[in-house]
A and B are shown apart, each in its own frame.
Chain A
Amino acid sequence: MISINLLPVELKLKRLSTKRNAALVSICIVVVFFFIVLSVIANAGKGTIEDHLAATKTAVDKNTNQSDESKALQEMALLINDRSRAFTEINKKRAIWSQILTELSASAPIDVQFDNLTSSVEKSPNFTLQGNTTTEREIIKFKEKLENSPFIKNVAFKSSSLNQNQKDQTETIKFILEFDLEKYSSNMAVKGLQGVK
């Protein structure tokens, strides 16, 4: 079936325009309604979040208000950790002199006597050792022994001179050795020297 619109053109256009406007108004109403619903939901959500926030803040305040005993314990813990860090830092550069001197004594051949020992961790060479002995062989033995020590490095022979004792007419060789301190960890000092070098 064919339908023929016999209305005048102006009326037809007017009707089309009215329809289009009506559709637009409907869309706008829907959009506005959607946002109204959304804002209602959002307000409800806001209330929930604020309640939850208030409860959480109360819980935080409750947890933060600690007893004096707890505060004192925390301060002590902080002090312990603070001192531990400072000690660890200082200990990294610390030389255990008693062990170094024990090592030097243990490395000395029986016929070697120390006359003077100057040592400093701040300048190189760290050690200057003046001593005397009976033969040059003893100096070499001593030097080799020091070179194998885990505490000592860069052992250098500086000088030697023959010296005659006026009292008993015996001859001794005076010598000077220079060497540096090997960097070592304090753990090594605690555990001993096994497997170090």
Chain B
Amino acid sequence: MKSNSLLIISLTIIIILGIIFLFIKSPATTILKAWQDLKHSEQDLKQSEERNKITADLKQKKDEINRIATIAEKYIPKDSESGDLILELTTIANNYNLKVEKTSLEKSQTTKESSEETTSTTNKEKSTPQPSTSPSASSGGVQNVDFTMSLSGSFTDYLEFLKNVETSTRLIVIKSMTIQMGQEEGKPVTFQLVGTAFYKLKVTIADNLDNIKVSQETINTFLNLKTYAQPINLPQESGFGRTNPFENY
């Protein structure tokens, strides 16, 4: 009799707990989900408020941002713009009395076919080469436009040309160069340089709060691009220092 009673009690408790579980489960799940959604939405709201705050800051600096974006896009353009690159290099060379003997743009390093197209140009007879870029992808989606230039003129003019190339409105990196003194007296010095310009088809950084803030440091970087390659404070020492070391001593 006692065991029957215990069995009934146990069954009753199990049934009650089962009913309660079924009764509570559905609303509990709904509440938990709503709570999680609420937390996510609150986070989204916080982010969107912060984004609006950053955008308000950007609006205040609208003109500056516009100017910097223009500089940045010219510095590393969205397209190879190889024609403009050659034009810019040739113009700088001409400005410093250097004769442009040859200019060429090289195709992708991965291509095994004829990888060079060359145009011979002189100071007065310039022809812009057909755009031919090397879409050899480097880090971060940046692509290269490799070029080769042969020039002739004086060393001091070449130095000025280099300063201008290094501080030009487009990012140009010179990888190698050869300077050869004129074979006969009175002959100009010849220069051959290999360089790379860059372009980037797409913005590859994530669209997050950190990346839509434009720091003063970044603004200064683009405003002071000319500072790179400015003359340095070389120490002077008696018996050393030649303005043009390719000239007779």
* Interface residues in chain A, defined as those with a beta carbon under 8 Å from any beta carbon in chain B: 13, 17, 20-21, 24, 28, 31-32, 35, 38-39, 42-43, 45-46, 49-50, 52-53, 56-57, 59-60, 63-64, 66, 69-70, 73-91, 93-99, 101-122, 131, 133-134, 141, 145, 186, 189-190, 192-194
Contacts and interface: CB of A to CB of B under 8 A. Distances in A.
A102 to B, nearest CB: 7
B228 A105 contact: no
A88 B220 CA distance: 13
Interface residues of B, number: 93
A110 B244 CA distance: 10
A45 B23 CA distance: 16
B142 to A, nearest CB: 5
A120 B16 contact: no
A107 B237 CA distance: 9
Contact of B239 (A82, A110, A114, A193): A110
Interface string B28-60: 101100110110011011001101101100110
The winner among A13, A105, A120 for most chain B CB atoms within 10 A is A105
Interface stretch (B105-113, B120-128, B178-186): B178-186
Contacts of A90: 142, 171, 173, 198
A78 B20 contact: no
B65 A80 contact: yes
Contacts of A189: 228-230, 232
Contact of A17 (B1, B34, B65, B228): B1
Contact of A70 (B23, B55, B198): B55
Contacts of A93: 173
The winner among A94, A97, A119 for most chain B CB atoms within 10 A is A97
A89 to B, nearest CB: 6
A118 B159 contact: no
Contacts of B205: 78, 81-82, 85
B140 A85 contact: yes
A60 to B, nearest CB: 5
Nearest to A91: B228
A116 B181 contact: yes
B27 A106 contact: no
